[in-house]
Structure 1
Amino acid sequence: MTSLDPQDLSQGEAAYRSLHAAIRKGLYQPGDRLREVEVADRLTLSRTPIREALRKLESDGIVEHRARIGAVVRTLSQTEVVELYEMRVVLERTAAEMAAKHASDAEIDALEEVNQQIKAAGDDALVASAFNQDFHRCVYLATRNRFLLESARALNNALILLGPTTLADEARIKVVCQQHNDIITAIRAGEPEAAGAAAETHLQTSLRQRLKVMRA
């Protein structure tokens, strides 16, 4: 068996990270076909590392191979979306509860700042979505629990398969920011039960919005 050149491995990892980021940013949506030549041109890489990246993304569950079509960004079914949000509720309720016990004033201030950035995004859905991801990441970091963080990372691949953000208008962003504020208020007050309840309410609202988008 021929060993792989370290440079090839480096290029393969670079291709994987670039393509993973492109899917996360929405440049490739669930259901989109990933043609090696087109992806290589778009990411200015050669086909060999792109092929390696596609295989790795397939093992991650992000990409699937369809007969007579090739590599495609995987699409979650409604049942899978509901199951995903059920896990998010469990993890994010726990994260909010633990943040209420451990978060520093600086970390809580950071949550408020990110929430203001979401509000300031207006109707720019992509910017609002990026800051929204930052908000939830900050809550997890404030738990000071490495095992909870690792569990959250395990959901990341599934989360990028949800498709376009639901933060498509200012009315929706207003609801999200208010619910985030409820979480922040409970965390700052050091009230784990209230923080967990606010996080669960937020995720349930998000699930209803996600299912509404899927039915449209």
Structure 2
Amino acid sequence: MKSAQTDAYSLILEAIDVGIFKPGDRLVESDLAERFGVSRTPIREALQRLETQSLLTRDGRSLIVASLDHNQMAELYAVRAELEGLAASLAARHASPEEVAVLRDMVEQDRALVGRPDAMARANRRFHKQVHLASHNRFLVQQLDLVHRSMALMATTSLAAEGRDSTAIKEHDAIVRAIEAGDDAAARAALCAHISKAFVTRLKLDSGEVKSTL
């Protein structure tokens, strides 16, 4: 049963992460069991786990995908910037040549995704995860996994803002160049600046100052 529970949890979490289930969507045990081909007991246990992690919240008797208010979003970006900056700094010190090569390849390949915000968002998650892994600090990776799960509670990606995707590629390039050079301070600064710009873009999207391409 533990394996089924883990599978159910992973399936629901992935559906939230990729935007199949969006903030405010109601999750019903029977519907989820049918959708994923899992019995209701592991689904129920997975939903309880997600509620404990604040990814789901109560609306009366129903469980819905949680959303973030302005203050929660600001707090999340502040933590993300600090932790990701640390990951980039450690990656500059500890990444293997092969890991750096993978990061460089990601940047080059992702240039072809400009204008496709959904695909770019998936590629962006892969890029950041690779930076986390290159830090060679398992505890930091675990904390960043939690942060990135909470990022899924935002209804849209900041990469949907007009022009943001091409700018983000340039920022990723700067991060990789600093890691390639083994410059931990520059890597931290580049990644923190990247997160800051993403936050500004999200605020502009929410205020209507910039348009979404989705």
So what's the TM-score if we normalise by structure 1? 0.88
Instruction: Determine if the alignment matches structure 1 residue 27 to structure 2 residue 35.
Output: no
1:78 aligns with 2:70: yes
Structure 1 counterpart of 2:145, which letter? Answer: R
Q: 2:154 aligns with which of 140, 159, 162?
A: 162
Cα 1:56–1:175 shift into 2, 3 Å: same
What residue is the counterpart of 2:101 in the other structure? 109
Task: Tell me the SS of whatever aligns to 1:161.
Answer: coil
Structure 1: how far apart are the matches of 2:131 and 2:106? Answer: 11
- Structure 1 residue 44 displacement after superposition: 2.9
The answer as to 2:125 corresponding to 1:133 is yes
Q: Which runs of 5+ in 2 are unaligned?
A: 209-214
Structure 1 counterpart of 2:143, one-letter code: S
Residues 56-108 of structure 1, C-alpha deviations (whole Å, 9 max, x = no match):
1111111111115x010000111111100101111111111111112222211
Question: Once structures 1 and 2 are overlaid, which stretch shifts more, 12-21 or 127-136?
Answer: 12-21
1:29·1:73 contact (CA, 8 Å) conserved in 2? yes
The Cα RMSD (Å) is 1.8
Where does residue 198 of structure 1 map in the other structure? Answer: 190
For structure 1, the residue ranges without an aligned partner over 5 or more in a row are 1-7
Distance of aligned partners of 1:13 and 1:142 in 2 relative to their CA distance in 1, 3 Å threshold: closer
Deviation at 1:211, TM superposition (A): 1.6
Identity within the alignment, %: 36
Q: Which runs of 4+ in 1 moved over 4 A?
A: none
Match of 1:67 in 2: 60
Aligned residues: 208
Aligned equivalents of 1:14, 1:92: Cα separation in 2:
28
Q: Is the 8 A contact 2:161 2:201 kept in 1?
A: no
Match of 2:211 in 1: none
1:179 aligns with 2:171: yes
Does the 8 Å CA contact 1:75/1:161 hold for their aligned counterparts?
yes
Displacement of 1:184 in angstroms is 0.9
- Alignment partners' CA distance in 2, 1:112 and 1:14: 32
TM-score (normalizing by structure 2): 0.89
Q: What amino acid is aligned across from residue 116 of structure 2 in structure 1? A: D
Is contact 2:179–2:187 with CA below 8 Å preserved after alignment?
Answer: yes
After superposition, what is the alpha-carbon deviation per residue over 1:139-192, rounded to whole angstroms, capped at 9, x for unaligned? 111112222222212323312212322222672111000001111111111211
Deviates more, 1:156-165 or 1:186-195: 156-165
Tell me, what secondary structure is at the counterpart of 2:15?
Answer: helix
Q: Which residue in 2 is equivalent to 1:3? A: none
